[in-house]
Structure 1
């Protein structure tokens, strides 16, 4: 027959398990948010790079057109 100490230890064990699960869930959420921020930053940087390349092409075309038009 279980004693009072057994019940107490079981409650402590359950509390520890619950705390571990809570910490693990918070860590998983933190990592997911961090990955999401990284992906969004990469998309923004890719967009900036594409716009930069397009502007560079326009400038070079403008220079070439100006030089060959004289």
Structure 2
């Protein structure tokens, strides 16, 4: 995959990988609005299915470690 994950996408995937909900790192009403766009993008990339991280999402997240 050639998509570079944004900080918001990394945070969301990290929350899911840790067994937390997709919105566990979000606070404030406006952040929830922006998070919906992040969810849709991650789903369209195949990195999330429903509100769960996919195997591809785990690979993408692991590829950001240390960068």
User: Normalising to structure 1: TM-score of the pair?
Assistant: 0.26
Higher relative contact order (Cα pairs below 8 Å, separated by 6+ residues): 2
Which structure would you say has the larger Rg? 1
Query: In proportion to residue count, which structure has more strand?
Result: 2
User: Normalising to structure 2: TM-score of the pair?
Assistant: 0.27
